[in-house]
Amino acid sequence: MPEALQRERILAIWRQWTAGLRFRPVFVIVAATVLLILFHENGSSSFFRIHLAGLFGPGRYAKLYPAFYWYACSFAMLCLVPIALGHFVLKRPWTEWISLGDWRFGLKAALALYAVFLPVLVAISFLPEFQTKYPLYAAATDSCSHFALHELAYAIYFIGWEFIYRGFMLFGLRPALGYYAVFVQTIPFAIMHFGKPQVETLAAVLAGIILGYLALRARSFWYGWLLHALVAISNDVLAVIHRSLA
């Protein structure tokens, strides 16, 4: 077969396979997948303990260094890097990705949802598996300052955690998928809860949908971050209360 004819057949097959595909949604899905893998493999506290702990000397908060590394990697790899990709590759202004959107609705909705979820959190906090799971780092309860620093870093962690799903993926896919983007971003969001109590992992499916619709309505991921951070910090506080009463 002549080389030119073979090349034309390959191009025809390629056009058939890629018919209807657009660059933006393909890039968003592939980039988000790669970033989540890199974060999972290189941004964890176990990675810090194995490869980086020896670079740091002892200190008052040394036991929390693995947590700080994990939380910082979330912010850098799941927020800062996607914002850069959105700006330089997708050619969207970086301010567009971190806009506050409709802050009046977003703030009220986030606080209202928190008020609805709080009784559920209190009920779940009586489960033994919950009380042994949180806080994620036992050293967070060593002192009030340990707890405060841990919770502050934990809140920063959720900026990256929310942005990759309800910022980069959701708004990156919305032009192509419409409201289906809510359900697409829910899949990796729920999967990344593997290893946590089963009830929490199952609840992540509903939470992903709710947070996705909240972000679309408010036109910003920030209110999902606020809700998620409040819930996560409440989990830690409730777990500490149960331990102190035991």
Q: Helices then strands (H, E): number in the chain? A: 13, 0
- What is the predicted pLDDT for the residue at 198? 83
Q: Per-residue confidence at 180, pLDDT binned at 50, 70, 90?
A: very high
Q: Which letter does DSSP use for residue 79 in this model?
A: I
The share of the chain scoring above pLDDT 70, in percent, equals 97
pTM of the model: 0.90
- Does residue 91 carry a pLDDT above 80? yes
CA dist 16 and 24 (Å) reads 19
Cα(89)–Cα(96) distance, integer angstroms: 14
Class of residue 164 by CB neighbours under 10 A (exposed 0-12, middle 13-18, buried 19+): buried
* Average pLDDT rounded to a whole number, residues 213-222: 97
28-77 pLDDT, tens digit per residue, is: 999 999 999 999 999 999 999 999 999 998 889 999 999 999 999 999 99
- Whether the CB-CB separation of 105 and 217 falls below 8 Å is answered with yes
For residue 28, the one-letter residue type is: V
Nearest to 76 by CA among 98, 43, 99: 43
